[in-house]
Structure 1
Amino acid sequence: MYLTRLTLLDHPDLRAIVQQLGDAYREHQMLWRLFDPAPDARRDFLYRRDVHLGRPRYFILSRRPPVNPLGLWRIDPPKPFAPTLQAGQKLAFLLRANPVVRRGRERHDIVMDQKKRTGWKTLPPDERPPLPELIQQAGLEWLSGQGERHGFHTDSRTVRMDGYRQHRTRRAGRAIHFSTLDFTGLMTVTDPELFRKALFQGIGPAKAFGCGLLLVRRV
């Protein structure tokens, strides 16, 4: 695996390009072009977007190093990503996820689900729990479940949640809706093999739209 940082370069059509990158499906298409085309290729990368000096920047974890066919990017030298992991290891982490909960056959945004479970909309405004508190509670519950599934444990006292957003895009004429939530904090590895799979394969749905990449560093 390779971990690569990309930054959008100056370009005469920079504003139009940034606008395209604001749409999750178009963003995915542009990043897909960074890899050698293959007729039967499937997405084999995860990515996370942030903003650096006012323009999009990306961290990409991929099985193949990216190329720059359109000349739009500054691509830092890809770094081989093969972490040594052991049980009890403590790591700082960043995660942008699409946190959902399954109710029957359907998946629901954890914040909307928490609102429904608590009757948030029906409560008088002065009796509603603050939205950040509700997001924190739902997020911690979701992250705890992911930890059990993927071989890590998080200390709720160190976890912070920011940037809850709802997104809408279209793919082949079909409307796509998803939400994102940013997690930061400290975690402890409990099962190195499960955790390695989580690092390489991502966590949660909407991976094609910039969700699921778990960035970690030693502390």
Structure 2
Amino acid sequence: MYFSVITPIENLRRQAAYELAKPLAQSPYEEHQWLWQFFPSNAEQSRDFIFRRHEIAQIPRFYVVSQRPPTAFSEAWQVQSRSYDPQLLEGQRLSFQLCANPVVTKKNNAGKPQRHDVVMHTKKQLLVERGFNAEAKWKEWSDEDNKPLLYELVQKSCIDWLQSRASSNGFAVIAASVDAYAQNRAGKRHIRFSTVDFSGELLVTNPTLFQQALFNGLGHAKAFGCGLLLVKKIEGD
């Protein structure tokens, strides 16, 4: 496996911004398609990388974990890659950052499984418990009627989601916070999906499972830049 950082060449940032502008204007999925250009392959090749886009001073930076090392397809971009074989120990503490797509899967009226944004699902549950009908909107609940604060609802529902996936992925959450929550649309069918930025500390409980989480990502919507866990050793440990 390889861990790579893809950034614009300093004196070619304008060209890099131009090349990235069209896919960004279309949808997050087009951004994923744009990244494919760093991984030349045939049409049958399935996606063998996960990524996260991060901006520093409005300069885009892509973190990528892949089975193959990416190669720059344009003179405006540089790729820094290294072999990725993290040495993990049971009981090891790490700080982490994660952009994820937290969902719960429930059967619809036709009995088929359907994914629901975890925040929206929690809202509907709370509305029904409060006596509203299943089609009620969150804004119908008066702020004066013991309505939960949205900030607290987002924090709790998203962190509960993360904790529910921790054990099966080889870690335990020591501390976590939700730094951002956003709803997005992507693709010609205007697919709706949410993204949540987490940060905090975790404890490795199963190095083998946790390594797979680092390589394969966590949760859904990986084609939209979700799932990649960025981890770092905690100083003093």
TM-score when normalising by structure 2: 0.85
Indicate how the Cα distance of structure 1 residues 139 and 189 shifts in structure 2: closer, same or farther if over 3 A, else same.
Answer: same
* More off after superposition, 8-17 vs 191-200: 8-17
For the aligned residue pairs, the C-alpha RMSD in angstroms reads 1.6
Asked if 1:124 is matched to 2:142, the reply is yes
| Alignment partner of 1:84 out of 84, 87, 107 | 87
Which letter maps to 1:21?
L
| Partner Cα separation in structure 2 for residue 97 and residue 151 of structure 1 | 17
Would the aligned equivalents of 2:94 and 2:203 in 1 still touch at CA under 8 Å?
Answer: yes
- 4+ runs deviating over 4 angstroms: none
Aligned-residue offset at 1:72: 3.0
Task: Provide the residue aligned with 1:44 in structure 2.
Answer: 48
Q: Structure 1 residue 19: deviation in Å?
A: 4.7
**Which residue in 2 is equivalent to 1:134?**
153
Number of residue pairs the alignment of both structures matches = 214
Question: Could you tell me whether the CA contact under 8 Å between 1:18 and 1:56 is conserved in 2?
Answer: no
CA contact (8 A) 2:15 2:76 kept: no
**How many angstroms does 1:148 deviate by?**
2.0
Q: Secondary structure at the match of 2:14?
A: coil
Gaps of 5+ in 2: 108-112, 128-137
Supply the AA of the counterpart residue of 2:61. R
Q: Which residue, out of 75, 80, 84, partners 2:79?
A: 75
The match for 1:145 is: 164
Structure 1 residues 118 and 207: alpha-carbon distance in aligned structure 2, compared to 1, 3 A threshold: same
Q: Which has the larger radius of gyration?
A: 2
Q: Name the amino acid aligned to 2:38.
A: L
Q: In the alignment, is the contact (CA less than 8 A) between 2:101 and 2:226 conserved in 1?
A: yes
Counterpart residue type for residue 123 of structure 1: W
Structure 1: runs of 5 or more not aligned: none
The alpha-carbon deviation at position 13 of structure 1 amounts to: 7.1
User: 2:117 is matched with which residue?
Assistant: 109
**Deviation at 1:38?**
2.1
Structure 1 residue 197 displacement after superposition: 1.0
SS in structure 1 at match of 2:186: strand
Find the partner of 2:211 among 184, 196, 200: 196
Contact persistence 1:153–1:190 (CA under 8 A): yes
Are the aligned partners of 1:50 and 1:56 in contact in 2 as well (CA < 8 Å)?
A: yes
1:3-42 counterparts in 2 under 5 A? 3-9=3-9, 10-12=13-15, 14-15=17-18, 17-22=20-25, 23-42=27-46
- The CA deviation string for residues 78-118 of structure 1, in whole angstroms up to 9 with x for no partner, is 01110111211111111000000112211100111111111
Name the CA distance, whole Å, in 2 between partners of 1:192 and 1:168: 35
Distance in 1, Cα, partners of 2:212 & 2:97: 16
For 2:105 and 2:191, locate their aligned partners in 1 and report how far apart those are by CA, in whole Å. 17
Structure 2 residue aligned with 1:166: 183
Tell me the CA shift for residue 42 of structure 1: 0.8
* Amino acid across the alignment from 2:227: G
